[in-house]
Amino acid sequence: MGTVSSQPSLALIGAGSMGEPMAANLLKHGFSVIVAGHHNRDPIHRLGQLGAVVATSSYEAATQAGVTLLMLPSSTEVENVVLGKDGIIGALTPGSILIDCSTSDPTSTRRLAEVLKDRDIGLVDAPVSRGVQGARDGTLAFFIGGEDKDVEHVMPYLRVMGTDYFRFGPAGTGHTAKILNNMISLSTVAIVAEATELARDSGLDIQAFYDAVMAGNGKSGTIEAFGKRFISRDHSKVNFRIELAAKDLFLSQELAAKTGKPFLVSAAAHQTLQLAQVLGLSKKDISNLAEFWSL
């Protein structure tokens, strides 16, 4: 694997709720990290205090790094950062590697990989699960796609940010697996929200209902993560916005459409999230689905 000191500097673009703790873990383990400007300057300031080099732009950050990691909301932002006006593609040198930890569209990922390959730049798609807490704890699970040599090259960085790594194949396969993972988890969030509100409307003690479900076959990581927030109706913390959840389920529906087969359960969950957006909940945390029926 090589020592940390032998690893090239890493530029991190997207120091938001996930990107900031990921960068902090890299710094904690002795990696050289360069962070680019962010719409919220607070994470950049905090990372600077931890020892990160603060660049004035994404382009400047990428010029100083052998590896560039993106943690952005969607493929739209990824394409803009890499290929748009002042895109970092002009800053990436032959032999360097781009890691896309965003939950991106696999079609866009494959297209971007071909553009970068023509410039002798590698692309590893490595989206993550386990959320903000996993990013803070360094226990993320990575869904990995890319050429073997590129994946091996970036593993030292991934190992200090996570604990589990799943290799799927060429560029785009990591993002495909992550979309399917979110298809399961987000559809489950929607049905748990429905069941919680139906239990409440049916006069059940909500805490007793939660405890019973967790003791039976209905137990799941999703209920464990969201159940208490559904019960308390405390949605003050925004970990994962409804608009991003809707985007992920839209990507799952695009995958489904290519097969020509009906995938009805996830389609219903997607429609639920779309309606939540229409009702003005786009920027709210997905736990607000528990309030969906009282608006």
Active site residues: 178
User: Encoding tokens for residue 217?
Assistant: 């076959």
User: Encoding tokens for residue 139?
Assistant: 């226990």
**Alpha-carbon dihedral of residues 45, 47, 49, 55, nearest 10 degrees?**
-70
Interatomic CA distance for residues 145 and 216, integer angstroms: 36
CA 234, 237, 243, 244 dihedral sign is negative
Residues 1-30: b if buried by 16+ CB within 10 A, e if exposed? eeeeeebbebbbbbbbbbbbbbbbbbbeee
Interatomic CA distance for residues 231 and 209, integer angstroms: 10
Place of tokens 């919220």: 40
Interatomic CA distance for residues 5 and 287, integer angstroms: 42
Q: Is 17 helix (H, G, I), strand (E, B) or coil?
A: coil
Interatomic CA distance for residues 1 and 152, integer angstroms: 8
